[in-house]
Structure 1
Amino acid sequence: MLHAVIMAGGSGTRFWPASRTLRPKQLLSLHGDRTMLQSTVDRLGDLVPASRQMIVTNKILVDAIAEQLPALPAKNIVGEPCKRDTAPCVGLAAALVYHEDNDAIMVVMPSDHVIASEQAFQQAITAGEALIKQDPTRIVTYGIRPTYAAESFGYVQRGDAIESPGASAFAVEQFREKPDAETAQRYLDAGSFYWNSGIFLWRASTILEALQKNEPEMYAHIAAIAERIGKDDYAETLEHEFAAIQGKSIDYAVMEQYPNVVVIEAEFPWDDVGSWQALTRLHSPDADGNTVVGSHVGIDTQGCIVHTHEGHTVVTIDVDDLIVVQTPDATLVAPKHAEERVREVAKALRERGLDGLL
């Protein structure tokens, strides 16, 4: 059967001050009325019932996620004891899914993407499921055709075409990490590279075997946890064994080395919503090129991104290309070109004893 695993443990530091430790980006409504996590679950439609949906997150977010997803069984919200990157997250989820269903196929996805067409998304997942049923050793990923020379995404290079009813599928030639500007332009010009969506499909047994082969130490800890599922000491074992894992991304641990990866060209509109500038792609700018979510009065203001809290109006005069984000207890003002430096806010606040703003 098909199971869905949603990775929702990120901290969303680039979306401060709206994103906080106990309410990170995936729990915010940045596009529409539903939060990003709720929209991710909604996107599954009838493809995967709630009983086969799993959220893997930071243990401090379990209660907040349960509140946002009341239809989800409590045991399906898995709290990691500590942050260990995506490979341990995937390994833990695969062990839990495999315990329930030895023949399970898993679709694994981040919780903070915007995908405009639920129908196209579901069709792509169904096509990937068919490819895995043809060859159970396959791993399927989804590539986004690039529209510009992005330096902030990883890339997947396609190889030979693979017969796949309902989707354009190719053998993966290679994975590439985030490139510099010149390399990104070369990838765009080549026409054979996709943005790496971070959405994967595989049998639970396949990914566990791949981790066992490529990351034996990590797998040993996952196996120790799996052995105690359903036992009285499971929580204690999870806490101890998971903390002992050396963190690594699933791309490094498996995807870049696995010999049988297929990429499906995604037909759905996609955005990874990585920073405040993503709002310009999600909301139509006004006549002056300002992207406004909330209440804003601009006088001689062009190209700004303004996000305000309900009941609060921001006024800007004679400014260009700023990010202005207002919340009840903090306000961010930064030039758009420096948006990556929002990551530095957490360290600066801690140094000044302002941990309460994190």
Structure 2
Amino acid sequence: MILPVIMAGGSGSRLWPLSRQLYPKQFLPLCGDQTMLQQTCARLAGLEHLPPLIVCGEEHRFTVAEQLRASRQPHGAILLEPAGRNTAPAVALAALHSLASGEGDPLLLVLAADHAIRDTAAFLQAASHASHFASQGALVTFGILPTAPETGYGYIRRGSEIHAQEHAAFRVDKFVEKPDTTTAEKYQQSGEYLWNSGMFLFRASRYVEELGKHRPDILSACERAMAKASQDADFIRPGKSAFLESPEDSIDYAVMEKTHDAVVVPLDCGWSDVGSWSALWEISDKDELGNTTDGDVILYDSRNCYVQNDRKLIALIGLDNLVVVESDDAIMVAAKDRVQDVKKVVERLKSENRPEAMVHRKVYRPWGYYDSVDAGERFQVKRIVVNPGAQLSLQMHHHRAEHWVVVSGTARVTCGEQQMLLSENQSTYIPLGVKHRLENPGSIPLELIEVQSGSYLGEDDIVRFEDRYSRS
């Protein structure tokens, strides 16, 4: 049986300003109405498989859980990496968990949560095809048929052809790094090279076996981490100290380049890793002048542009090959052939400790979200939305007081020893230093306006006493 392992970590800095460290591209609806994580799960519907195992970081756990719940996607456990150590240790955790879960020795279909695939049927056919080889002990990777001399991908050189039950694939001759343009053109013309997709299929036991042979230090750390794992609802937490001893490495370097049993299955499915704004433009629908727009956009005499906005009207006049992206707190304008440098902007934001590198103005929490509407000297205004049945932690602040005004829904407010119900147009005041809690006991979202005032308004001025989301 196939067990999909969906890797939902990563920061997606090349798609800033929409993608942020705490809300990266896999959680954004970049290629349709669903987020990329939701699309990854949805395209598995035509494949006979076990409920997917999701691997992500601690900071993204509630976003993953909420997006799966909202899309009604069936899933298994959510495995939380204590820290980023690249794909080889992450998949080792998944393999060890699957072998210990009583489901036998499943075929692990390792997928990234932030890839786009336009031809789902071709992808599912290739996965079924690859399962014949993986069932016999091969470690299968999927190689994308090149459509251009792409310099942003690694390549796989295919070796001799092999057959199994009328299904054909190729031995992996070698993996090669991202080439320059001249080399990429030679690769494409030769017909011997495929793009390295970063998708894999192999038995859990075979991956563990090969990892132990070639990188026993990684396997040992992961085994010790899983031996100390704990479970909280759907979340599995490997032992942190043991996992931090694991070196960083990718599946390619740690296993696939060293094993003698690597097999590549060619795949033509409209695949993209959506690794840049130009890549997103390439796979998006365009008008007769090659423009892609999303939001309130007016174009005049402009060509081959990608324009996306959330709120404000954007007008382009006489422009060519530009990317313009507006988010709730930033605007990015770039030449389409320079979008790889977006990450340099993010690096500068991080070096200056600016919040635009980490979070959006709208910040999602396990109970809902808040939107920072305005801020100034000693005050901040937030729009807060609490999901039905959800509650914030019992908490207090050392440096700020809060005023709450209910816009819609019903709020149950705990303030010190007092508890009250507030409905639309009613308000209350939370003094500095007083324990308080906000809950939504109703069946519709609770929306309120919060005005904070005080000497310090940072999110780290929260002392939690009780929290149903294990954050206290």
TM range (shorter): over 0.9
Between 14-23 and 237-246, the greater mean CA deviation after superposition = 237-246
What number of residue pairs does the alignment pair up? Answer: 353
> For residues 111-130 of structure 1, what are the structure 2 equivalents within 5 Å?
111-130=113-132
Deviations 1:230-274 (A, max 9, x none): 689x97862111122111111110111110111111142212211
Gaps of 5+ in 1: none
Deviation of the 1:332 alpha carbon: 0.4
In the alignment, structure 1 residue 18 sits paired with structure 2 residue 9: no
* Residues 116 and 271 in structure 2, CA contact (< 8 A), matched pair in contact too: yes
Task: Give the Cα separation in 2 of the matches to 1:52 and 1:275.
Answer: 30
Tell me the equivalent position of 2:288: 287
In the alignment, structure 1 residue 131 sits paired with structure 2 residue 130: no
AA at the equivalent of 1:118:
T
Task: Give the Cα separation in 2 of the matches to 1:97 and 1:236.
Answer: 14
Question: SS in structure 2 opposite 1:194?
Answer: strand
* Residues 150 and 181 in structure 1, CA contact (< 8 A), matched pair in contact too: yes
Deviation of the 1:281 alpha carbon: 2.1
* Residues 299 and 318 in structure 1, CA contact (< 8 A), matched pair in contact too: yes
Tell me the equivalent position of 1:339: 339
AA at the equivalent of 1:57:
C
Deviation of the 1:115 alpha carbon: 1.2
> For residues 132-151 of structure 1, what are the structure 2 equivalents within 5 Å?
132-133=134-135, 135-136=136-137, 138-151=138-151
Deviations 1:273-301 (A, max 9, x none): 11111232222222332221222112332
What's the % identity of the aligned pairs? 38
Tell me the equivalent position of 1:63: 62
Deviations 1:195-243 (A, max 9, x none): 11111000101111111111111111011123334689x9786211112
Deviation of the 1:85 alpha carbon: 0.8
Question: SS in structure 1 opposite 2:147?
Answer: coil
Deviations 1:158-215 (A, max 9, x none): 1111114464411111111111112111111111111111110001011111111111
* Residues 80 and 238 in structure 2, CA contact (< 8 A), matched pair in contact too: no
Change (3 A) 1:236 1:294: closer
* Residues 80 and 236 in structure 2, CA contact (< 8 A), matched pair in contact too: no
Task: Give the Cα separation in 1 of the matches to 2:237 and 2:152.
Answer: 38
What is the root-mean-square deviation in Å for CA atoms of aligned residues?
2.1
Structure of larger gyration radius: 2
Task: Give the Cα separation in 2 of the matches to 1:257 and 1:93.
Answer: 21
Change (3 A) 1:254 1:217: same
Tell me the equivalent position of 1:40: 40
* Residues 102 and 204 in structure 1, CA contact (< 8 A), matched pair in contact too: no
Tell me the equivalent position of 1:250: 251
Tell me the equivalent position of 1:110: 112
Which protein has greater RCO, CA pairs closer than 8 Å, 6+ apart? Answer: 1
Deviations 1:22-79 (A, max 9, x none): 2210111111111111110011115255x53111111111100100102567861112
Task: Give the Cα separation in 2 of the matches to 1:198 and 1:284.
Answer: 25
Tell me the equivalent position of 2:199: 199
Change (3 A) 1:289 1:118: closer
Task: Give the Cα separation in 2 of the matches to 1:244 and 1:11.
Answer: 22
Tell me the equivalent position of 2:320: 320
Tell me the equivalent position of 1:2: 2
Tell me the equivalent position of 2:80: 79
AA at the equivalent of 2:273:
D
* Residues 11 and 20 in structure 1, CA contact (< 8 A), matched pair in contact too: yes
Task: Give the Cα separation in 1 of the matches to 2:325 and 2:34.
Answer: 20
* Residues 57 and 81 in structure 2, CA contact (< 8 A), matched pair in contact too: yes
Question: SS in structure 1 opposite 2:129?
Answer: helix
Gaps of 5+ in 2: 359-472
Deviations 1:291-327 (A, max 9, x none): 2122211233222211111x42211223222110001
AA at the equivalent of 1:315:
A
Tell me the equivalent position of 2:185: 185
AA at the equivalent of 1:40:
T
Deviation of the 1:83 alpha carbon: 1.0
Change (3 A) 1:80 1:318: same
Question: SS in structure 1 opposite 2:85?
Answer: coil
Question: SS in structure 2 opposite 1:43?
Answer: helix
> For residues 217-232 of structure 1, what are the structure 2 equivalents within 5 Å?
217-229=217-229
Change (3 A) 1:351 1:223: closer
Change (3 A) 1:230 1:46: farther
As a proportion of its length, which structure holds more helix? Answer: 1
Task: Give the Cα separation in 2 of the matches to 1:105 and 1:277.
Answer: 34
AA at the equivalent of 1:221:
A
Deviation of the 1:151 alpha carbon: 0.7
